[in-house]
Amino acid sequence: MTGQVLILCATRMEMAAFFDRNPAGYTGRSDNGLTVFSSPDQSWDLVISGPGVFNAARALTACLERFQPEFILHTGIAGMFDSFGLHLGDAAVAVTDTYIHAGVDTCRSGTNLTADTDPTIMQSRPDHTGFKISRGHPDGADPLSALAPQSCAYGYQMPLDQLPFDLIAGQKMTRQGVYTLDPDLAGSSTDLLARSLGCRVIQGPFVTVSSITGSYEKAAALSQAFSPVMESMEGAAAAHVAALYQVPMVEIRAASNRVGERDKIRWNIQTAVRTVADICEIILNEST
C-alpha cells in the first residue's frame, strides 16, 4: 500500500457503485486479513474495515503502520438526523465526530424518565433496543421535548460528563469522546463537493454509536443532546487512530436513511451508494 489517499469504508456494499464504475481500475487482495484495493497508478488504496469501532480502529492502524498517506477519506452510508433538512442521498462532511459512549455517566438510578418518577407519563416500557420508551402522555406532549442535554433519558445521561483524563494526550475534547476533524480538509472538501455533486452537501457534527438507533424517541434525544447531522458506527474510532498517527482525515457520508427509522422500505441505500461513488471520484480526481 503506497497510495497518497487512503479510503476507509466499513463494507464492500457501500463501495458497490464505485467498483461498478471502475471494473478494471483497481486490483484487490487480502492483506493481513483485510480486504484491500489499489489503483493501477498507486494514487489511492481502499481498505474495507468491517463495521463498528473495533474493526475500523484495527484496519486503519494496520494500514498506517505500513505507510503514511497524504490524507484519509473515511466514507460510506449513514443515518441522517432530520433537523438539518437533508434528503436521502444527500451528503455531509464531519467537522467533529463524537463517540457518545465515552465519558462518565452520573445519571443516578431512579432518575430515568418513567412513570415512576413522572406522573404525567402513563406508560413506560423498554423497546427492542433495551432503552426506556415513554408513551401515552395524557396531554399529547412529547416528554422528550423538555429534556435538557444533561437530563437522564433512555437509562443514561446524554451527553456524558467528561472523563478525568484525555483519550488523546493534549486533546481535552476527547474526554467526552469528541474528535475534531481537519478543518481545512473538511472545508475544501465541502466546497468541492458542493460545486460538483448533484445533491445537497453540508458540514456539521457527526456521532458514532455502537448500537444502531432503533426508535424515533432515541433519535430525538440524541439530536437534542449532540445536534448531529449523521450517525455512524466507525467515524470516531477512525478519527482517534488518524489523530494518533497525525494523518489528516476527512469523513464524508451519504444519507441512506433517517436515524430511528427501521422500516427499510423507507430507506434509499442505492441512491446513497451512488453518492458515495461520486464523493470518491470527485475527491480522488482533485487529489491526483
Whether residues 185 and 138 share a domain: the answer is no
Q: Residue 17's CB: how many other CB atoms inside 10 A?
A: 20
Cell numbers standing for residue 74: 473515511
Looking at the predicted structure, is the pLDDT value of residue 148 above 80? no
Provide the domain limits for residue 151: 105-159
Q: Return d(Cα 188, Cα 70) in angstroms, integer.
A: 15
Looking at the predicted structure, is the pLDDT value of residue 139 above 50? no
Q: Whole-model pTM?
A: 0.85
Whether residues 99 and 109 share a domain: the answer is no
Domain with residue 82: its CATH number is 3.40.50.1580
Whether residues 85 and 185 share a domain: the answer is yes
Q: How many residues are there in the chain?
A: 288
Looking at the predicted structure, is the pLDDT value of residue 127 above 70? no
Average pLDDT over residues 220-229: 96
pLDDT at 221: 94
What is the number of structural domains in the chain? 2
pLDDT at 175: 97
Whether residues 82 and 170 share a domain: the answer is yes
- Cα Dmax for the chain: 66
pLDDT at 146: 37
Whether residues 10 and 48 share a domain: the answer is yes
Task: Encode pLDDT of 14-54 as tens digits.
Answer: 999 999 998 767 777 777 788 899 998 889 999 999 999 99
Cβ proximity of 249 and 72 under 8 Å: yes
Whether residues 90 and 215 share a domain: the answer is yes
- Of the residues 114, 134, 159, the one at which a domain ends: 159
Task: Encode pLDDT of 25-35 as tens digits.
Answer: 777 777 778 88
Whether residues 137 and 240 share a domain: the answer is no
Strands 178-180 and 230-232: unpaired
pLDDT at 229: 98
| b (16+ CB within 10 A) / e for 144-181 | beebeeebbbbebbbbbebeeeebeeeeeebbbbbbbb
Whether residues 141 and 252 share a domain: the answer is no
Q: Residue 117: pLDDT band by 50, 70, 90 thresholds?
A: very low
DSSP SS3 for 188: helix
- Window from 31-40, 88-97, 173-182 with minimum mean pLDDT: 31-40
Phi, psi of 49 (to 5 degrees): -85, -30
Whether residues 83 and 200 share a domain: the answer is yes
Whether residues 187 and 235 share a domain: the answer is yes
- Of the residues 139, 159, 179, the one at which a domain ends: 159
pLDDT at 161: 94
DSSP per-residue string spanning 1-30 = ---SEEEEES-TGGGHHHHHH-TTS-EEEE
Whether residues 175 and 134 share a domain: the answer is no
Looking at the predicted structure, is the pLDDT value of residue 154 above 70? no
Cβ proximity of 60 and 241 under 8 Å: yes
Taking 3-state DSSP, the helix, strand and coil percentages for the chain, each rounded to the nearest 5, stand at 30, 25, 40
Looking at the predicted structure, is the pLDDT value of residue 112 above 80? no
Whether residues 204 and 149 share a domain: the answer is no
Average pLDDT, the chain: 86
Q: What percent of the chain stands above pLDDT 70? A: 82
- Of the residues 159, 176, 191, the one at which a domain ends: 159
Cβ proximity of 144 and 224 under 8 Å: yes
